[in-house]
Amino acid sequence: MRRLRAWFLLPGATIMAVLFFAPLLIVVLYSFLSRGAYGGVELPWTASSYTRVFDSLYLAILWRSIWVSALSTAICALLGFPLALYIARAGSNRTLLLNLVMLPFWTSFLIRIYAWMFLLRDTGLINSFLLAVHVIRQPLPLLFNTGAVILGLVYGYLPFMVLPLYATVEKLDPSLLDAAADLGASPAITVWKVIVPLSKPGILAGSLLVFIPCLGAYLTADLMGGGKSVMIGNVVQNQFTTSRDWPFGAAISLLLMAVALLVTRVIGRKGEQLL
C-alpha cells in the first residue's frame, strides 16, 4: 500500500513543488533584488522594496482594499442571509432554487462584469434610457467608481456566501423556531436571537469565501473601477507589466498574501478542516 500511495501522491506533489512553491520562492527572492534597467531584476540584494511598501500611498491602497472587501462581504452576508433562509424553507424546490443561485457562477466571470458595464456605462442601457426619456441631460457617472467596484464584487461572489449559509440554516431544527415563537418571540426577534447566532459557522465560512477573492480582486476593480478605484491587486499587476518594477511588485504580492493568510487565521479555519 505504501508504494502505491507514494506513486499516487507524486504527480500532485510535483505540480505543487514546481508550479506553486518554486514560483513563490522566486517571488521571495525577487523581492530582495534591485530593479533591472530594462525591467526584470538584478543585483545587489536590498530590502528597499519593503521600505517602499510601507510608503503611505501603498498602505492607503492596501487599507482601501481591505475596507472595500469587508464592505462587500458584509453586503453579501446581508443580502445572502434572507435568501438562504428562504431557500431552506422552500420545501421540494430547494435544490432548484439553490442551483439557480449557483448557475451564474458557472457562466463566465468576465461576462458577468461586462453585463453590468453594459448597464452602467455612459452609453449603457440605463443612461441611454434616461436620456431618451429626457429625465437627465448628462449621463450619470454610474461606472468607474468605488460603488461600482463594490457592486461588481457583491454580484460576483454572492453565491459563495449563500452556499455555506444555506448549509447551516438548512440543518437548523424547525422545532427551535417553534419554541421561540411559543415563548413569545416575534419572527424578527426569532431570526435575530435564534437563527443568526446558530448560523455563525456558515456566516464565518461564507465571509472567508467572499473576503479572500475580494481582497485580491483585479478584474472587477480594473473594469468597473476604471483607473479611479485602484485596489492592491491592480498595483501588483501594474508593477509586473507597465511599471516593470518586479522587486516592488514581488514585495507587494507577499504583503497581499500575508494579509490573506492573517485574515484566514483570524476567522479561524484550518487547512484540514476545509479540505
Among positions 229-258, residues that touch another protein (CB under 8 A) are: 233, 236-237, 240-241, 246, 249-250, 253, 256-257
Instruction: Tell me the C-alpha to C-alpha distance, in Å, between residue 41 and each of 26, 55, 150, 235.
Output: 11, 21, 35, 18
Among 70, 75, 79, 185, which residue interacts with another protein (rule: CB under 8 A)?
Answer: 79
> Taking the complex as a whole, how short is the minimal distance between the CB of residue 68 and another protein, in angstroms?
14
Cα–Cα distance measured from residue 214 to residue 164, given in angstroms and rounded to the nearest whole number: 17
Sign of CA dihedral 44, 46, 52, 58: positive
Q: Which of residues 173-192 bind another protein (CB under 8 A)?
A: 187-188
> Taking the complex as a whole, how short is the minimal distance between the CB of residue 146 and another protein, in angstroms?
19
Give the nearer residue to another protein in terms of CB position, either 31 or 146. Answer: 31
Q: Is the previous residue joined to 201 through a cis bond, with omega within 30 degrees of 0?
A: no
Q: Which of residues 118-147 bind another protein (CB under 8 A)?
A: 118-119, 121, 123-125, 128-129, 132
Cα–Cα distance measured from residue 32 to residue 37, given in angstroms and rounded to the nearest whole number: 16
Determine, following the binding rule CB under 8 A, whether residue 169 of this chain makes contact with another protein.
no
Q: Which of residues 19-78 bind another protein (CB under 8 A)?
A: 19-24, 26-27, 30, 40
Q: How many beta carbons lie within 10 A of that of residue 250, not counting itself? A: 23
Closest CA to 231 of 250, 213, 243: 213
Q: Are 163 and 169 in contact (CB under 8 A)?
A: no
Q: Are 274 and 201 in contact (CB under 8 A)?
A: no
> Taking the complex as a whole, how short is the minimal distance between the CB of residue 158 and another protein, in angstroms?
7
Q: How many beta carbons lie within 10 A of that of residue 65, not counting itself? A: 23
Give the nearer residue to another protein in terms of CB position, either 57 or 270. Answer: 270
Contacts with another protein by CB under 8 A: the residue count is 82
Determine, following the binding rule CB under 8 A, whether residue 112 of this chain makes contact with another protein.
yes
> Taking the complex as a whole, how short is the minimal distance between the CB of residue 121 and another protein, in angstroms?
6
Determine, following the binding rule CB under 8 A, whether residue 156 of this chain makes contact with another protein.
no
Q: Are 168 and 160 in contact (CB under 8 A)?
A: no
Among 164, 206, 213, 225, which residue interacts with another protein (rule: CB under 8 A)?
Answer: 213
> Taking the complex as a whole, how short is the minimal distance between the CB of residue 17 and another protein, in angstroms?
8
Give the nearer residue to another protein in terms of CB position, either 203 or 231. Answer: 231
Distance of CA 173 to the CA centre of its chain: 31
> Taking the complex as a whole, how short is the minimal distance between the CB of residue 127 and another protein, in angstroms?
8
Q: Are 66 and 78 in contact (CB under 8 A)?
A: no
> Taking the complex as a whole, how short is the minimal distance between the CB of residue 8 and another protein, in angstroms?
4
